[in-house]
Amino acid sequence: MTALADGHELLHHLLADLLVKGLIVLAAVLVLVVGAVLIWKKAGR
């Protein structure tokens, strides 16, 4: 029973870690896109 509980806890930890990393990547991509759009607009003028 203990091994199963540990495995479940590990899986939960990995999923939480993946979620955090996914949010960080999403935020970074959003910043890059916004920056690219702003540069594109300034260069277009």
HEC sequence for the chain: CHHHHHHHHHHHHHHHHHHHHHHHHHHHHHHHHHHHHHHHHHHHC
Confidence at residue 6, expressed as pLDDT on a 0 to 100 scale:
80
> What pLDDT does 36 receive?
97
Per-residue pLDDT at 8: 86
Total-model pTM: 0.67
Q: 3: domain range? A: 1-45
Cβ density class 18-44: b for 16+ within 10 Å, e for less: eeeeeeeeeeeeeeeeeeeeeeeeeee
Total count of domains within the chain: 1
Tens-digit pLDDT profile for residues 1-45: 566 678 789 999 999 999 999 999 999 999 999 999 999 999 986
